[in-house]
Amino acid sequence: MTKRQLKLGLVLTGAGGPGNHNLWLDPAVPADASVDIEWYIAHAQKAEAAKFDLVFIVDSQFITPDSPPHYLSRLEPLTLLSGVATRTNSIGLVGTLTTSYNSPYNVARRFGSLDHISGGRAGWNVVTSGDAGTAGNYGRDEHYDYDTRYGRASEHVKVVQALWDSYETDALPRDRGTGQFLDPGKLHALNHRGEHFSVAGPLNLERPPQGHPVVFQAGDSTQGRDLGAEVGEGIFTHAATLTQAKAFYDDIKGRAVRTFGRRPEGLVILPGVGVIVGDTDEEARELERHYRSTDHSFDQALAEFGRSFGWHDFRQYDLDAPFPQETLVFAENSFRTGAQRIAALAAEQRLTLRQVVQNSLQRAPGAFVGTAETVADRLQEWFEAYGVDGYNIHAAHPAQLDRFIDEVVPILVDRGVFRSEYESDTLRGNLGLPVPGNRYEARADAAVPVGV
């Protein structure tokens, strides 16, 4: 049996994402990095040289003037990843696309195309859109409620996967001798009519090299966790402590096994973690304090604080009054789970709005901060305790990405925790995930329905 190996992703942003309003002022980051394809390519190549499994592009489609710089102007994920695909060879290319404002046919076609362009390295991070304002950009007055959002997501993913099976493996002989381009018996329409989508099919693209591009999922509500447990092959999440990570890990894998009859190895759990490396543990803590104190001001934090609450403007409240619990109503169809957590803590600890915003600025010390040895120890510890299968690395600064790659990764390789060479040229292969069979080939009866 092959030894279980750590998986590594790199969260690739340009000029500073949420809570990172001032990074673009640093000359190490081109102020227009978020729209510079060369920036993304250079970082993806760096991560590939270090044998990372994947780069990950987050996305959303609603902004206000208070959005962080990266969000204000950034490239669309699949267009961006297609550019990166042509200049990399082995690293996985994972992009976020919402099921709330895209139709399955289009998503199947776009990710299928990325999988062909990249030779089997595409991954889809399925989200339902936390920003309620997105609705207004797609002809709706209101965002979908949670049950609808996640009901659509579950059906959407299954329709997309069914569309990827439209062609059997040898459906396109392209035989010049016989003049046969297509074997029509091996092309399958879908004729799906479900609660949320009607899709005739077939997809106008042969089966992707990975069979199905890898499905990732990020969502923390009960419905979000169920979706991940049902369809996720990779799960993105956050975890501040090993205890939290382990609880999430056990919960998701437990749901996958008990509710959906899946094997626990069929999904890899990768929390996003910030890493900061210094020459000494104390110097790394000092760097952490420096990054945190410079990345955004109280006023920027207060303005951005409303994002989880449907971008409700908290500047209208008395900062020194108790946290306004009634604002939870604005989070109902937005980032509800996160907002509920904030409001519950405020109630429990009787916090004012000022204290709540201060807390968002002065977070607890990060778990992965220290010398390269310290960071490697901690990464290994969580992995070996089955709190994670790997990590999505956030570097606070480009210099920190270099230190992580130059100093931490070699330790993990030396210890046999992380690879020194790619095992495969596909994302699925590197993540150790099986290639799904084509539903039509698996059954003698070729008229198999979508199975949604």
Ligand X SMILES: Cc1cc2nc3c(=O)[nH]c(=O)nc-3n(C[C@H](O)[C@H](O)[C@H](O)COP(=O)(O)O)c2cc1C
Selected binder of ligand X within 34, 90, 96, 333 (CB under 6 A): 96
Helix (H) or strand (E) holding 125: strand 122-127
Stretch that binds ligand X, among 212-220, 251-259, 324-332, 395-403 (CB under 6 A): 212-220
Decide if 320 contacts 355 (C-beta within 8 A). no
129 binds ligand X (CB under 6 A): yes
Distance CA 210, CA 115 (A): 7
Selected binder of ligand X within 64, 102, 148, 221 (CB under 6 A): 221
238 binds ligand X (CB under 6 A): yes
Residue of minimal CB distance from ligand X?
224
Q: How far is the CB of 226 from ligand X (least distance, A)?
A: 10
Q: How far is the CB of 60 from ligand X (least distance, A)?
A: 4
Q: How far is the CB of 138 from ligand X (least distance, A)?
A: 13
In terms of CB distance, is 161 or 217 closer to ligand X?
217
Coil vs helix vs strand at 277:
strand
Selected binder of ligand X within 237, 327, 426, 438 (CB under 6 A): 237
Signed CA dihedral, 226, 232, 236, 239: sign only: positive
In terms of CB distance, is 129 or 166 closer to ligand X?
129
Cα-flanking dihedrals φ and ψ of residue 16, to 5°?
Answer: 105, 115
Selected binder of ligand X within 104, 219, 234, 324 (CB under 6 A): 219
Helices and strands (DSSP H and E) totals, the chain: 17, 11
102 binds ligand X (CB under 6 A): no
In terms of CB distance, is 240 or 413 closer to ligand X?
240
Distance CA 109, CA 171 (A): 18
Helix (H) or strand (E) holding 41: helix 37-49
127 binds ligand X (CB under 6 A): yes
274 binds ligand X (CB under 6 A): no
169 contacts: CB under 8 Å, gap ≥ 6? 207, 438, 441
Stretch that binds ligand X, among 236-244, 357-365, 368-376, 432-440 (CB under 6 A): 236-244
Stretch that binds ligand X, among 38-46, 233-241, 284-292, 364-372 (CB under 6 A): 233-241
In terms of CB distance, is 127 or 302 closer to ligand X?
127
User: Which 323-342 positions form the footprint of ligand X (CB under 6 A)?
Assistant: 335-337
* Strand-pair category, 234-238 with 268-277: parallel
Distance CA 137, CA 95 (A): 20
DSSP string for 303-341: HHHGGGGTT--GGGS-TTSBP-GGGHHHHTTSSHHHHHH
Distance CA 210, CA 434 (A): 9
Binding mask 58-87 for ligand X (x = CB under 6 A): xxx---------------------------
Cα-flanking dihedrals φ and ψ of residue 267, to 5°?
Answer: -140, 135
220 binds ligand X (CB under 6 A): yes
Whole-number Cα distances in Å, 258 to 154, 162, 250, 416? 18, 24, 11, 32
In terms of CB distance, is 186 or 394 closer to ligand X?
394
Helix (H) or strand (E) holding 295: helix 281-295
130 binds ligand X (CB under 6 A): yes
Q: How far is the CB of 301 from ligand X (least distance, A)?
A: 19
Selected binder of ligand X within 224, 306, 324, 387 (CB under 6 A): 224
Closest CA to 269 of 314, 341, 220: 220
Q: How far is the CB of 156 from ligand X (least distance, A)?
A: 13
Decide if 8 contacts 393 (C-beta within 8 A). yes
218 binds ligand X (CB under 6 A): yes
Count of residues of this chain found to bind ligand X when the rule CB under 6 A is applied: 21
In terms of CB distance, is 22 or 221 closer to ligand X?
221
Q: How far is the CB of 409 from ligand X (least distance, A)?
A: 22
In terms of CB distance, is 90 or 125 closer to ligand X?
125
Helix (H) or strand (E) holding 105: helix 104-118
Coil vs helix vs strand at 186:
helix
190 binds ligand X (CB under 6 A): no
Stretch that binds ligand X, among 109-117, 232-240, 349-357, 426-434 (CB under 6 A): 232-240
Selected binder of ligand X within 39, 40, 71, 236 (CB under 6 A): 236
Distance CA 93, CA 91 (A): 7
In terms of CB distance, is 218 or 393 closer to ligand X?
218
Q: Which residues bind ligand X (CB under 6 A)?
A: 58-60, 96, 98, 127-130, 218-221, 224, 236-238, 272, 335-337
